[in-house]
Chains A and B, each alone.
Chain A
């Protein structure tokens, strides 16, 4: 048992952080908000960094813990490292953004809980663990969405909660069907299932479909995406930035766990798996195509930057979901690669949106980007980098990310993957239009007013670092690729 606990240290550190925060809240004078804030940020940063340190120094572990309930393998560790980096950036953003810098201890507790949930999703080796992780992420997310918002925050939170409740209800029904079919919740045992026959095939398809509802809800895939634009718009910008990458990455970790469990051995070879007789690749492919089109076509009409980025993140989820159909090591590497790049370009874009909002009465209308090129040329060029990278134009990292997605799709020319790549290309072209609108507003349109947009030094430097990462990874990405491909080892 103690050895189990040794392998669970990264999560335990976060849980201790939560406990400490709750404990301190008993002793701190409620009126001293500043002290409370500093304390909670300090605990959060320390817990996350310590957890990150432990993970990085033990990244080669490959064990199952808690009677096969969770797996600690290089892939899950890599996802956890990704989550923690996202969390560190987000904590900085929460602490510094005007929208969220009044949030206190109880808010940071939510973040740590969400993190533990995300890490459980990445490590799950049991349907129950998947479900627990999902709910641990979802419930604090509802709270974070509406946190101290006056206008449409609570509405978004309610919407999110209702969608989330329904989706996880459907998902757990799917799980119960699988349990009924196989007699276990353990993913390893399910993957060794050999009892397919024509009578239970329909039931399998239904249960996979129900599972997809849960996955689709978490990664905001159509037709389970309706919550996302409202939540992204209603929540404070730092929270939106966090949602657009963190839980989404966790959703992908969970999908990879569920679908690939059966397909990839520990040395990366593909094997015929238990689900091979169920046409799940076709189901996932259909969801991917619908997601891409809905995301991109809806983004075209948005004038709110946050909604636009919400739909754009739906579209990007579509590109990544399409790769799930491939079941190869290259596919997992390409998803990880894309998530890393997506993290920088998307959080970066939200940071700039929040800076522009702070200078324009908290409005995220695209018209406030007009003339940003002459108002603040540094911010504008960095935003242009992020937009071009999201479009997938070289020499920016987003292009390399897309190249890897396409290579994963085209490695084996099956009809599904060829058509998926064609649809992905068409969608990339559509997406150019709405990203270019931002660039057009910044550079091609004259400023509508004489307001000055400026920001603090740490914002500028973090943005500059993100932009440099996006640029450098677009030219030389071998180190990142090597790290990620080494990590694709699963239990």
Chain B
């Protein structure tokens, strides 16, 4: 079984999702309410079981992964581990090729963790329960699939499959403007990925006759060939680099392609926001590291400063816009834009330290934003609004909630002792030699982050209770955190703190892979 860890992790949720979907399609409407309820209750537990199962497999993969075997092109499978390799479509040379390295194993761990958190966060969903969990599980499966694929076609298929459940999850279970948000998300991402598709096909055909392949490792072996040919008189590698980058940049989301994100986040139900910010955004930066960096090392060096510039724009712009938000969820959505900017800056730094920082930031941001969105969901469930100025003095009413919010807010602004601090420190230290001016701007804008986070915390939790609002929204009757909410929040908080004090559990996994990647790109 240990040979099929990656496939089982991906396909068990997929099949579970398809089975639940067929239940939803063929179940008769005339069943009594009670019967319906008991089945729905069962499906929740099944979904929890399946996500826990996959999470367990992700942990197993983490334990089995041997960080001493680092990325090396001259070995079989370039030292990817837990590899499975079969033919899929022989005439087109498409293979089912999966495997992990130090980068993807962490992303699998993050996906597993956040997907379990997501199921727990969706426990209260009452509407069309079967359809919800069916789509949720298919979404999870596609996310695992993206992180394990080593065949570009396979990668693309998983990448695109993710769109469909996401569209419905936002569009059916979302807020008042859900339809607009869902279609905007769908079209934005699809435009990007269609250009990526052209890039993939161009990569496939521009190998010598008989060597056409979608195999990412083989494409890496042909990096010099790609760098030497031209397309319409322009350098092939730079054009295709941009085509792929566009697809990934929309997902990150990079300024100016970020506008789908606030809409999607604000309209999406809490668990979907958690998945979106926790895992989905990381796919953009993961894709750049996995594909752009490895297949086009030269073009990547050419574009590194550009990535840094856009990273800094993301950081500053995201923070500025976050400061101006009145809606708490929108504020956190823009803080994600800002935090993903740090990842881009770290990636562009081209040193082992900055790269480690970037990937650690991906992981840590996944954990911390999941927590932030969960906390916003908690207050929204009770107050049915998220306007910052209408709160005030919540700490007096819900002390435990305020404490957890404190942890999350401070973790997000990069306070030492939390994972975000280590990540940002590594990014700044690592990127400083190559990107001095950008690092200085980015480091200064940490103040902006602190400002919008602290200011919003103060307005929501401190001060006196606003009597008129308390009357209107019944603040005084709010219960503090429930057991279910605690079960979600405690592991997230612990993870953020543990990584903050002992980042080695993460860094030791990826350091070898990322150092090798940096050497490969900068050689």
Asked if A206 is at the interface (CB within 8 A of a chain B CB), the reply is: no
Which residue of the partner chain, among B160, B190, B231, contacts A413 with CB atoms under 8 Å? Answer: B231
Q: Are A478 and B91 in contact (CB-based, < 8 A)?
A: yes
Q: Are A422 and B198 in contact (CB-based, < 8 A)?
A: yes
* Residues of chain A lying within 8 A (CB to CB) of residue B194: 425, 428-429
Q: Are B201 and A403 in contact (CB-based, < 8 A)?
A: yes
Q: Are A388 and B205 in contact (CB-based, < 8 A)?
A: no
Asked if A399 is at the interface (CB within 8 A of a chain B CB), the reply is: yes
A394-B161, A425-B197, A429-B191 known; A407 vs B204 contact (CB < 8 Å): yes
* Residues of chain B lying within 8 A (CB to CB) of residue A394: 156-157, 160-161
Asked if A410 is at the interface (CB within 8 A of a chain B CB), the reply is: yes
* Residues of chain A lying within 8 A (CB to CB) of residue B187: 429, 432-433, 436
* Residues of chain A lying within 8 A (CB to CB) of residue B376: none
A393-B190, A444-B179 known; A476 vs B89 contact (CB < 8 Å): yes
Interface size class of B (residues with CB under 8 A): 35 or more
Q: Are A443 and B183 in contact (CB-based, < 8 A)?
A: no
Asked if B473 is at the interface (CB within 8 A of a chain A CB), the reply is: no
Q: Are B201 and A388 in contact (CB-based, < 8 A)?
A: no
Question: Which residue of A has the minimal Cβ distance to B157?
Answer: A394
* Residues of chain A lying within 8 A (CB to CB) of residue B89: 476-478, 481
Chain A proximity mask over B151-176: 1 for CB below 8 Å, otherwise 0: 00000110011011001100110000
Q: Are B232 and A425 in contact (CB-based, < 8 A)?
A: no
A407-B204, A428-B194, A440-B179 known; A395 vs B157 contact (CB < 8 Å): yes
* Residues of chain B lying within 8 A (CB to CB) of residue A425: 194-195, 197-198
Question: Which residue of B has the minimal Cβ distance to A440?
Answer: B179
Interface of B is mostly: helix
CB distance from B298 to the nearest CB of A (A): 19
C-alpha gap A464/B112 in the complex (Å): 34
Chain A proximity mask over B79-118: 1 for CB below 8 Å, otherwise 0: 0000000001111100000000000000000000000000
* Residues of chain B lying within 8 A (CB to CB) of residue A432: 186-187, 190
* Residues of chain B lying within 8 A (CB to CB) of residue A477: 89
Asked if A482 is at the interface (CB within 8 A of a chain B CB), the reply is: yes
Q: Are A378 and B205 in contact (CB-based, < 8 A)?
A: no
Asked if B24 is at the interface (CB within 8 A of a chain A CB), the reply is: yes
Q: Are B183 and A436 in contact (CB-based, < 8 A)?
A: yes
Asked if B25 is at the interface (CB within 8 A of a chain A CB), the reply is: yes
Asked if A180 is at the interface (CB within 8 A of a chain B CB), the reply is: no
Asked if B386 is at the interface (CB within 8 A of a chain A CB), the reply is: no
Asked if A421 is at the interface (CB within 8 A of a chain B CB), the reply is: yes
A415-B232, A422-B198 known; A410 vs B205 contact (CB < 8 Å): yes
* Residues of chain A lying within 8 A (CB to CB) of residue B197: 403, 406, 425
Asked if B19 is at the interface (CB within 8 A of a chain A CB), the reply is: no
Count chain B CB atoms within 10 A of each CB in A403, A415, A482 and give the residue with the most.
Answer: A403
CB distance from A379 to the nearest CB of B (A): 10
Instruction: Count contacts on A: residues with CB < 8 A to the other chain.
Output: 36
Asked if A377 is at the interface (CB within 8 A of a chain B CB), the reply is: yes
CB distance from B331 to the nearest CB of A (A): 27
Asked if B374 is at the interface (CB within 8 A of a chain A CB), the reply is: no
CB distance from A372 to the nearest CB of B (A): 12
Asked if A418 is at the interface (CB within 8 A of a chain B CB), the reply is: yes
* Residues of chain B lying within 8 A (CB to CB) of residue A381: 21, 25
Chain A proximity mask over B196-209: 1 for CB below 8 Å, otherwise 0: 01100110111000
Which residue of the partner chain, among A407, A415, A433, A481, contacts B205 with CB atoms under 8 Å? Answer: A407
**B-facing residues in A382-437 (Cβ within 8 Å):** 388, 391, 393-395, 399, 403, 406-407, 410-411, 413, 415, 418, 421-422, 425-426, 428-429, 432-433, 436
Q: Are B205 and A411 in contact (CB-based, < 8 A)?
A: yes
* Residues of chain B lying within 8 A (CB to CB) of residue A391: 190
A407-B204, A407-B205 known; A429 vs B168 contact (CB < 8 Å): no
C-alpha gap A406/B204 in the complex (Å): 11
Asked if B182 is at the interface (CB within 8 A of a chain A CB), the reply is: yes
CB distance from B152 to the nearest CB of A (A): 12
Chain B proximity mask over A449-491: 1 for CB below 8 Å, otherwise 0: 0000000000000000000000000001110011001000000
C-alpha gap A418/B243 in the complex (Å): 13
Q: Are B201 and A410 in contact (CB-based, < 8 A)?
A: yes
Which residue of the partner chain, among B21, B161, B171, B191, contacts A440 with CB atoms under 8 Å? Answer: B171
Question: Which residue of A has the minimal Cβ distance to B174?
Answer: A444
Q: Are A406 and B201 in contact (CB-based, < 8 A)?
A: yes
C-alpha gap A421/B198 in the complex (Å): 8
C-alpha gap A410/B243 in the complex (Å): 14
Question: Which residue of A has the minimal Cβ distance to B87?
Answer: A478
C-alpha gap A428/B92 in the complex (Å): 23
Q: Are A440 and B91 in contact (CB-based, < 8 A)?
A: no
Q: Are B205 and A406 in contact (CB-based, < 8 A)?
A: no
C-alpha gap A422/B194 in the complex (Å): 9
Which residue of the partner chain, among A388, A440, A444, contacts B164 with CB atoms under 8 Å? Answer: A388
CB distance from B519 to the nearest CB of A (A): 32
* Residues of chain B lying within 8 A (CB to CB) of residue A415: 232
C-alpha gap A394/B158 in the complex (Å): 8
* Residues of chain B lying within 8 A (CB to CB) of residue A485: 91
CB distance from B246 to the nearest CB of A (A): 11
C-alpha gap A438/B89 in the complex (Å): 32
* Residues of chain A lying within 8 A (CB to CB) of residue B232: 413, 415, 418
* Residues of chain A lying within 8 A (CB to CB) of residue B21: 381
Chain A proximity mask over B26-62: 1 for CB below 8 Å, otherwise 0: 1000000000000000000000000000000000000
* Residues of chain B lying within 8 A (CB to CB) of residue A444: 171-172, 178-179, 182
C-alpha gap A436/B166 in the complex (Å): 13
C-alpha gap A425/B194 in the complex (Å): 6
Question: Which residue of A has the minimal Cβ distance to B183?
Answer: A436
CB distance from B264 to the nearest CB of A (A): 15
Q: Are B202 and A413 in contact (CB-based, < 8 A)?
A: yes
* Residues of chain B lying within 8 A (CB to CB) of residue A478: 89-91
C-alpha gap A417/B186 in the complex (Å): 27
C-alpha gap A485/B92 in the complex (Å): 12
Q: Are B161 and A395 in contact (CB-based, < 8 A)?
A: yes
* Residues of chain A lying within 8 A (CB to CB) of residue B168: 443
* Residues of chain B lying within 8 A (CB to CB) of residue A440: 171, 179, 182-183
Q: Which 4 A-B pairs have the closest CB atoms?
A: A425-B194, A394-B157, A429-B191, A444-B171
Residues of B near any A CB (own CB < 8 A): 21, 24-26, 88-92, 156-157, 160-161, 163-164, 167-168, 171-172, 178-179, 182-183, 186-187, 190-191, 194-195, 197-198, 201-202, 204-206, 231-232
**Apart from A413-B232, A481-B89, A485-B91: 11 A-B pairs, beta carbons within 8 A:** A377-B26, A393-B164, A394-B156, A394-B157, A395-B157, A403-B197, A410-B198, A418-B231, A440-B171, A444-B171, A476-B89
25 contacts across the A-B interface (CB closer than 8 A): A377-B24, A381-B21, A388-B164, A394-B157, A395-B161, A399-B160, A403-B197, A410-B201, A410-B202, A410-B205, A413-B232, A415-B232, A418-B231, A421-B198, A425-B194, A425-B197, A428-B194, A429-B191, A443-B171, A443-B172, A477-B89, A478-B89, A478-B90, A478-B91, A481-B89
